[in-house]
Amino acid sequence: MSAALETSATRPAALMEAAVAAERPPRAGGYLPTSSRRSLVKAICIVLVLSLGISILANPSALHSWSIFTITYGYTLMYSTGLWLTNGFVVEWLNRHYAWTVQPGRRLLLTLTVSLGGSILVILLMNALLLLLRGKPVSQLFSREMYWSLLLPLMVTVIISLFNHSRAFFFQWREAAVRAERLEKETAVARLDSLRRQVDPHFLFNSLNALTSLVEEDPTRAVRFIRQLSKVYRYVLDSESQELVPLSAELTFAESYLFLQKTRLSDALVVEMSFPPAEVAPFHVPPLALQLLLENVIKHNTAFQANPLRLRVTLDAAAATLTVRNTRRPRRLAPGESLGLGLKNLAARYAFLTDKPLAFGPDGDEFVVTLPLLVI
């Protein structure tokens, strides 16, 4: 029966996938999705055909008696299905809970323990069933004559399991490499886009105009304005090569950026932003993520002295989120001034860093954006 084991365990993933798909809730009308039905039918056909071939190879004399062949075929089918499902579900379960790319040592130990344990259990149960069908006591299961009946299938199972788990490791490693490459590309695009926005002629032109007025009216404040403008550009240059920055650094940068904007807009912009340092310390964000939101608020909304644009930034340490709220006062933008890609690019960057989504949209008379905060 070792031949049965060697052939039947070579493709556990297909039957496992079909079995999992079969357990999913049916769609409206009581039918499984077409892809799930096809996977299930394909897996069943593979098992039936393989079991038939194994039965013929393992016991050719059974072809002379339908009753003996039926018993042989039934036993082979149960044996193959048990090992197939056991190893297939082990791979799927371990892939969901213990990825090779996160804890490879622990994953290897769990692979050997769970896979071998499940295979040994199937081998013992099937051999016990065979003894019962032959009218022999189960106590003979651990006798010397059953030694090779237990050891040989186990050895074959170990070889096949190692192949199966090595294949799973390779696919996870390849997927992680692809994701890392995509993240690097997306991050590079986002960095260049952020840098382009910061050195945008409009931003620099507005800042220099405000500085010109300050030099004539308030030289002391003009000096501070120059220092804050220098901090803004220095932060952009220092952070453009980083994937994450401390939230405290991003907030300090945001204060410098808002100082420049408030100097230009004066009382037309009202900002509420204050956080205890202890709550900010553990968290990180993608560089310039908060600045993008602040820039969008000022770019897309009108601001007047008599009716100021209100902007509020709040931190929820328990939920690990940073929320930016602003009153909605949409203004008409010149063609090409805004492509609407800022939030989409930021959401794409977050998708590679965390499972928590970037949430944004109108909320009454406000527009709200919630940034997930990361802990490393």
Greatest mean pLDDT among 76-80, 125-129, 180-184, 272-276: 272-276
- Rounded to whole angstroms, the Cα distance separating 140 from 276 reads 71
Note whether 141 and 123 are within 8 A (CB): no
Name residues whose C-beta falls within 8 Å of residue 18's C-beta, 6 or more positions apart in sequence: 36, 39, 40, 41, 42, 43, 44
pLDDT confidence band for 370 (50 / 70 / 90) = very high
State the pLDDT at residue 5.
Answer: 35
pLDDT for 335-358, tens place per residue?
Answer: 555 555 678 878 888 887 888 889
Taken in order 332, 300, 194, 361, is the CA torsion positive or negative?
A: negative
Q: DSSP letters of 308-367?
A: PEEEEEEEETTTTEEEEEEE--B-PPPTTS--S-HHHHHHHHHHHH-SSPPEEEEETTEE
> Count of CB atoms within 10 A of residue 137's CB?
9
Angle, CA of 355, 357 and 361, to the nearest 5°: 175
Rg of the chain, C-alpha, whole Å: 32
Q: What is the mean pLDDT of residues 21-37?
A: 46
| Distance separating alpha carbons of residues 352 and 362, to the nearest angstrom | 25
CA 146 from chain center: how many Å? 47
**1: which 2 tokens?**
């029966």
pTM more than 0.75: no
Supply 308's token pair. 């100021």
pLDDT at residue 28 above 70?
A: no
Q: What is the pLDDT of residue 19?
A: 37
Q: Tell me which of 344 and 59 has the higher pLDDT.
A: 344
- pLDDT band for 13, please (50, 70, 90 cuts): very low
pLDDT at 76: 74
